[in-house]
Amino acid sequence: MIRTNWVWLCVLWGLLGLIGCSQRLGESQLPRPSTRLASDTAQFPGIVQVLGQQLCTGALVGSQTVLTAAHCVAQSNSLSVKTSQAVYPVSEKLILGAGVEGDPHDLALLYLSRPLAASETLMPLAAGVSRGDSVVVIGYGCADSNAMGTSGVKRLGTNVISDVNEFIELSTPGIQIRAVAGPENRAGVCFGDSGGPLLKQVGNQWMIVGVAHGAYNESSGQISQFVDLNLPENRAFLSQHVK
């Protein structure tokens, strides 16, 4: 993230009024939170660490291309990508959005200085989600916003989309910015998860439908926001520039 007190620590009550909060699925329409927490995982090797001024998460989407959030890389001049197999220097970055709070085009593509090894796993892109869709949240972020040093471990949880407005939104009850931790079936995002993918199963494949932008608190817990790859400008950016 650009600043440690970025969107994560802001209580965006004004935003709630603008995005039609009344449309959001309520707790009675969402899974009851599990007593288990989102856990460490080795699944989805195409989900990687983006290393720059701060830790972020990204996804391998082309033979030489990583998808992440603009706010993760806008201020970094030296970037690399760490997979389960190697560290790849980044030779170029292409940013769509301004990399600021509330930007629905908060996307960036990183071009690696050499092609990925043939054994690396690419993640396919999809578009289109609805309230009530089941999704996977995955990233290298902290387990607790009060323990940011726990970043760097890949964690996975699931959730159900509670709203689709300018962003895709997930609700994690009973916590205040805690995590791809939180209940394993109501996971959200934390520092270091920015740029990570939101995954939806399409047929027999898990595909990227969103990119982690940030989160804010409300009285019932945390709302996590993901950039929607289905927005026309976002679709065009990816279709033209993934290589």
- pLDDT higher at 19 or 148: 148
Q: pLDDT tens across 124-176, in order?
A: 999 899 999 999 999 998 765 555 555 688 999 999 999 999 999 999 887 65
Task: Give the residue-averaged pLDDT of 220-228.
Answer: 91
> Which of 154, 78, 81, 64 lies closest to 117 in space, CA to CA?
64
The answer, yes or no, to whether residue 184 has pLDDT greater than 90, is no
Cβ contact 65:111 at 8 Å? yes
Confidence of residue 31 (pLDDT cuts 50, 70, 90): low
Beta bridge partners of residue 216, listed in sequence order = 223
Total number of domains in the chain? 2
Q: How far is CA 23 from CA 10, 16, 26, 154, 171, in A?
A: 22, 11, 9, 32, 13
Cβ contact 226:167 at 8 Å? yes
The answer, yes or no, to whether residue 21 has pLDDT greater than 60, is no
Q: Is residue 55 domain-shared with residue 134, that is, in the same domain?
A: no
Confidence of residue 19 (pLDDT cuts 50, 70, 90): very low
The residue range of the domain holding 191 is 31-42+124-229
**Local structure of residue 37 (DSSP, 8 states):** B
Pairing mode of beta strands 39-40, 155-164: antiparallel
Cβ contact 107:238 at 8 Å? yes
Is 220 a domain residue? yes
Q: pLDDT tens across 67-125, in order?
A: 999 999 999 889 999 999 999 999 999 999 998 999 999 999 999 999 999 999 999 99
Task: Give the residue-averaged pLDDT of 225-242.
Answer: 97
Write down the mean pLDDT value for the chain: 84
Q: Is residue 137 domain-shared with residue 108, that is, in the same domain?
A: no
Task: Give the residue-averaged pLDDT of 18-30.
Answer: 60
Q: Is residue 164 domain-shared with residue 212, that is, in the same domain?
A: yes
What is the pTM (predicted TM-score) of this model? 0.85
> Which of 147, 167, 148, 146 lies closest to 209 in space, CA to CA?
167
Is 16 a domain residue? no
The answer, yes or no, to whether residue 13 has pLDDT greater than 70, is no
CATH number at residue 128: 2.40.10.10
The pLDDT assigned to 4 comes to 30
Q: Is residue 139 domain-shared with residue 216, that is, in the same domain?
A: yes
